[in-house]
A and B are shown apart, each in its own frame.
Chain A
Amino acid sequence: MDRGAKRWLLAAALAVAVVSLFAGQFNRYYLGVTIDIGINIIMAVSLNLINGHTGQFSLGHAGFMAVGGYTAAKLSLLFGAQIPPGAAPIFFAVILLAGGLVAALSGLAVGVPSLRLKGDYLAIVTLGFGEIIRVIFQTTESLGGATGLTGLERYTNLAWAFVLAALTVYVVSCLVNSTYGRGFIAVHDDEVAASAMGINPTKYKVVAFVIGAFFAGIAGGLYAHHKLVLKPDGFDFMRSIEFVVMVILGGMGKTAGVILAAVILTVLPEFLRGFADYRMIIYSLLIIILMMARPQGLFAGWKTGRKQAAPTS
């Protein structure tokens, strides 16, 4: 059943490598948007592990992104100058990983105490954690305060964004499609029944939060070295909502749908640039209409059920 998994990952990485060879010819603007897509895929797919597969409801995913982003950015501002150009990729990998790990730690900090809560209460608490994280960054002078961090090196490119996006998809899909990982879905479906089957709901929820936060942190590092500035208000509640909408639009727990939704919702606002005044009004109307017409996601009913969605089966 999983013979294809690693191969799929390899193929994705290869495709990305080939595309990045030609990245130089890309229009700068399109290139930027494409990298945005990669970063948003990481965010949406990792949030999908928490909200979709495990059935938690996090409204603070942007907070984890901020933690990872600030960690990586601070490290690169501190040590980037001493790094010889040849070692830059290794350095970047290290600071991304550091960002991911610190974000994972914050995921643990949020996950453990929040576990007693469900549904809207959990949503509020994660929202609260996200806001607290933002306020902390906003008031910490060594992290730039309200102006944020600037002058970052442009480390992120197409290859980084998409290889890491592929890795995120791979990890989430492989996890969910294993005997171990079926526990996530069991917890999502029915916590009482899951624990009666010997599945520890607490453990699964924490693991989902930690892994989800880890990848959000990595995405934050990519984002920082893509936009080259990092501002606390870029990680507000609105940002978290954007990722939640991607997951819902794609259909909770459906990896392929969520990837597609991430692509659409990254590109759509760019198309609406001409209607700048109406852009966000349309966006909010879309959310409402979507929830009324297709609450199971845009692609509900298509053959992208949980089993088919994963690259492993």
Chain B
Amino acid sequence: MFYIQQLINGLALGSIYALIALGYTMVYGVLRFINFAHSDILMVGAFAAFFLAPGIQGVFGPESIPGALLVFLFSALICALLGVLIEMLAYRPLRNRPKLTVLITAIGVSLFLEFTCQHKGVFGSNTRPFPTLIPAQELHFGELVVSSNDLVVLVVTLLLLAALRFIVQRTKIGTAMRAVSFNPQAAALMGININHVISFTFALGSALAAIAGIFYAMRSPGIEPLMGIQPGLRAFIAAVVGGIGNLPGAALGGIVLGVIEAIAGGLPGVSNYRDGIAFAILILILLFRPAGLLGKFQAEKV
């Protein structure tokens, strides 16, 4: 029973990781670098919801479904904008530089967002309680107690994954994304506007991160400017574990990580090492399957 309980818990947590991991993996797909600032986007998403909620709930009534939907929507829009802006200002000028340069810049952007948001003129470094967006209920299935919010997270994630799949596989812009990720030069020659595709990728990934950030905030005691670091790291590990650049891989990696973490976190003696477990999984995966669970390994041509 304990395990089933933790499994559901882990699936919800894993869904959140999966949503974040998709952003890492999409950006890696088109630009081949790890966007360290992604973890801070989800924090901004949570804060956006925090500030938007009172106003929107004032109109639609507290804890109403349309109100919650609007909060999600606007936060996602804000983060999409932020993601696009970061790419344009910080990463675009470095497009043809060595990947290491871009990686360090991304770390710089991440630190910049964290420290700026910690400033007392912005959000300050205190933890603030997150408003209730969707009333949580305890659902009883026999001995099993499930939070309705866990189910909401699961369902929304599944819907978003389906939507994402549709966008990537069926739409014009999605096809362009795949083309750019397969071969940027060839894509450019075929008349694809690389900049548009990259902006779109950042917008999409950041919007998902915002939603994940709000979900994460709903499960946490409160929100603060460094709240993105831990889920960000986990999600990023999930992306690598699943095979970076691979969308289903990121989703799978997120779920796997969430479940392992929830189950291990519930075991006495192991729970203290929770922070280390994700990294241990990462290292094992990279050693035995360097390309990740679903990735393909490519040998260098000499």
Interface residues of A (CB under 8 A from B): 57, 113, 116-117, 119-121, 123-125, 128-129, 131-132, 135-136, 139, 192, 238, 241, 244-245, 248, 277-278, 280-281, 283-288, 291-292, 295
Contacts and interface: CB of A to CB of B under 8 A. Distances in A.
Contacts of B120: 277
B273 A139 contact: yes
B100 A128 contact: no
B contact patch SS:
helix
Given A135-B275, A192-B300, A192-B302, A288 B90 contact: yes
A135 B271 CA distance: 11
Contacts of A288: 90, 105, 108-109, 112
Interface stretch (B56-64, B140-148, B211-219, B281-289): B281-289
A131 B90 contact: no
Given A120-B99, A136-B273, A288-B109, 13 more contacts: A120-B103, A121-B286, A128-B237, A131-B233, A132-B280, A132-B283, A139-B273, A277-B120, A280-B118, A281-B112, A284-B112, A288-B90, A295-B98
B272 interface: yes
Contact of B97 (A121, A283, A286, A295): A295
A128 B282 contact: yes
B281 to A, nearest CB: 9
A280 B122 CA distance: 14
A126 B108 CA distance: 18
B162 interface: no
A117 B34 CA distance: 15
Nearest to B121: A277
A contact patch SS:
helix
A295 B97 CA distance: 9
B265 interface: no
Interface of B: 33-34, 90, 93-94, 97-105, 107-109, 111-112, 114-116, 118-120, 233, 236-237, 240, 272-273, 275-276, 279-280, 282-283, 286-287, 290, 300, 302
Nearest to B90: A288
A110 B97 CA distance: 28
A67 to B, nearest CB: 15
25 contacts: A57-B100, A116-B290, A117-B286, A119-B99, A121-B240, A124-B236, A124-B237, A124-B240, A124-B286, A125-B283, A125-B286, A128-B237, A128-B280, A128-B283, A135-B275, A280-B111, A280-B118, A281-B116, A283-B111, A284-B109, A284-B111, A288-B108, A291-B94, A292-B105, A295-B98
A128 B111 contact: no
Contacts of A113: 283, 287
Contacts of A248: 104
A291 B240 contact: no
Given A113-B283, A121-B286, A281-B112, A287 B105 contact: yes
